[in-house]
Amino acid sequence: MPKRKSFYKKSLSVGILGSALFIAGCGTADTIAEQPAESEQAEVQTTTASDGSGETEQSEDDTEGTEETEETEETAEEGGEAETVATDTEEQAVPEDQQGITMPMPLGTPLADLLAHYGEPTYDDYFLGSRLVMFKEKDGYFLDDNNIAKGFLVGNSEVSVFGTRVGMTFKEIDEILGAKGEVGYDESETQYYLNIHYVENYKITYSAETEDGPIVDIVIIRSK
């Protein structure tokens, strides 16, 4: 929680058709004639191919069944590919220009989504001219008039801001970002030493209690 000086309170059978046809002779013992059984479904036949290599011909029904199975397998594969694409899309939810900032929720997130992710804030008040909500006293989000996240206040050393982190010194920050920042002192609101850098589309302000001491928080506001 930001303070003035200390920033936190912070998913076929082969059916026998005619078993045998009995032809009864009147008063005589005629020979019982037997008619061979025929298959109703003799659709699978062994024939001799034109090249003499007797091969089994497959019925149309079996052929269609095989084709359907292959189509099902292809559909399943396509479905798997679609699912992979969807997953890749979800992984790219963070805008490209925010890839270097590893805050849990990106800028543009509504307050309702922040509350659903974190729960109730540990700080909710105006700070540095904007409404600031902080969660777990480490992850802060500045809100615009529509309660949409427009900036960050980072107090968590696990969060990377273009390679820099809370706990580093101004000198380390300058070396990582490859330029010397604008150093000053905020007498009015934070009473911290500040080191200001402009990286990509952001104004990044690093705060420390002393000019050569460790960073205690990082404020990130979109500058364009």
* b (16+ CB within 10 A) / e for 46-82: eeeeeeeeeeeeeeeeeeeeeeeeeeeeeeeeeeeee
pLDDT value, residue 29: 40
Q: What is the pLDDT of residues 120-162, one digit of tens each?
A: 999 999 999 999 999 998 999 999 999 999 999 999 999 999 9
Q: What is the pLDDT of residues 14-36, one digit of tens each?
A: 333 333 333 334 344 444 344 44
SS3 for 164?
A: strand
Q: What is the pTM of this model?
A: 0.61
Over 60: is that where the pLDDT of 48 sits? no
Most confident by average pLDDT, 13-17, 94-98, 200-204: 200-204
Average of per-residue pLDDT values in the chain? 75
pLDDT value, residue 140: 98
pLDDT value, residue 177: 97
- Check residues 87 and 201 and name the one with the higher pLDDT: 201
Minimum mean pLDDT range among 55-69, 106-120, 176-190: 55-69
Q: Which of 108, 197, 193 is CA-nearest to residue 161?
A: 197
**Quick one: what percent of the chain has pLDDT higher than 90?**
52
Over 70: is that where the pLDDT of 77 sits? no
pLDDT value, residue 12: 35
Q: Which DSSP helix (H) or strand (E) runs through 185?
A: strand 182-185
Q: What is the pLDDT of residues 211-223, one digit of tens each?
A: 999 999 999 998 7
**Cβ contacts of 213 within 8 Å, gap of 6 or more:** 169, 193
Place 97 in a pLDDT band, splitting at 50, 70 and 90: confident
Q: What are phi and psi of 143, to 5 degrees?
A: -110, 145
pLDDT value, residue 170: 98
Place 65 in a pLDDT band, splitting at 50, 70 and 90: low
DSSP-derived secondary structure letter, 63 = H
